[in-house]
């Protein structure tokens, strides 16, 4: 019992730990590394983080980018339709749109047919920003994923995730 009294310095006792292996060793993930949900969320956070970095010059979040993409591909739709396809609840979609509109990236236009609904359209500035954002996403963000997984790996990953998103 040479070191029963001495509390054993907690910082740098990775010398010859006499009694037991109990020092600054990594926490074991254990079965957590096999939990698909856990790894899935971790990966998602990383991907979003990188997305934000890559598209930072344009100050666009993933959600904002997805709205611009949808407006470009679906001109003439109203807020409810766009929000629904993105899985965003209408009340929460309002402020999102407010920010985009205040930056003059899109506009709400009262529909002539149904004066309740707002037709959403990209402005010219919005189209420009979207085009530049697309280039950044493809050339930086997705390119890095391609580099990490390989083109076919990325394809396979996308296919499986799509399957989960749609059929699970």
Which residues here bind its own copies, judged by CB under 8 A? 7-8, 10, 22, 26-48, 50-51, 62, 66, 69-70, 72-74, 76-77, 81-82, 84-85, 87, 113-114, 134, 137, 141-142, 144-145, 148-149, 153-154, 156-158, 160-165, 167-168
- C-beta closer to its own copies: residue 8 or 109: 8
CA atoms within 13 A on the CB side of 124: 0
Which of its own copies, DNA, none does 164 bind, CB closer than 5 to 8 A by kind? its own copies
Binding-site size, DNA (CB under 7 A): 26
For residues 106 and 100, the answer to whether their CB atoms sit within 8 Å is yes
DSSP-assigned beta bridge partners for residue 109: 119
Cα(168)–Cα(163) distance, rounded to whole angstroms? Answer: 7
Whole-number Å distance between alpha carbons of 47 and 43: 6
Spatial separation of the C-alpha atoms in residues 154 and 26, rounded to whole Å: 31
Shortest distance in whole angstroms from residue 151 CB to DNA? 29
> Of its own copies, DNA, none, which one does residue 30 interact with (CB within 5 to 8 Å by kind)?
its own copies
Which residues in 86-105 contact DNA (CB under 7 A)?
A: 87-94, 97
Residue 142 token pair = 């997705």
């Amino acid at each position: 019992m040479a070191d029963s009294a001495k509390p054993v310095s907690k910082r740098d006792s990775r010398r010859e730990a006499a009694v037991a292996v109990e020092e600054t060793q990594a926490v074991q993930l254990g079965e957590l590394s096999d939990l698909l949900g856990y790894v899935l969320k971790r990966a998602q956070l990383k991907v979003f983080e990188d997305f934000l970095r890559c598209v930072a010059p344009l100050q666009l979040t993933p959600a904002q980018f997805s709205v611009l993409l949808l407006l470009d591909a679906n001109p003439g739709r109203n807020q409810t339709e766009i929000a629904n396809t993105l899985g965003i609840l209408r009340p929460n979609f309002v402020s999102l749109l407010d920010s985009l509109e205040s930056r003059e990236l899109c506009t709400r236009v009262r529909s002539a047919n149904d004066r309740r609904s707002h037709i959403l359209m990209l402005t010219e500035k919005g189209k420009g920003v979207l085009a530049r954002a697309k280039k950044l996403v493809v050339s930086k963000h997705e390119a890095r994923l391609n580099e990490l997984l390989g083109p076919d790996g990325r394809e396979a990953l996308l296919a499986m995730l799509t399957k989960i998103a749609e059929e699970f």
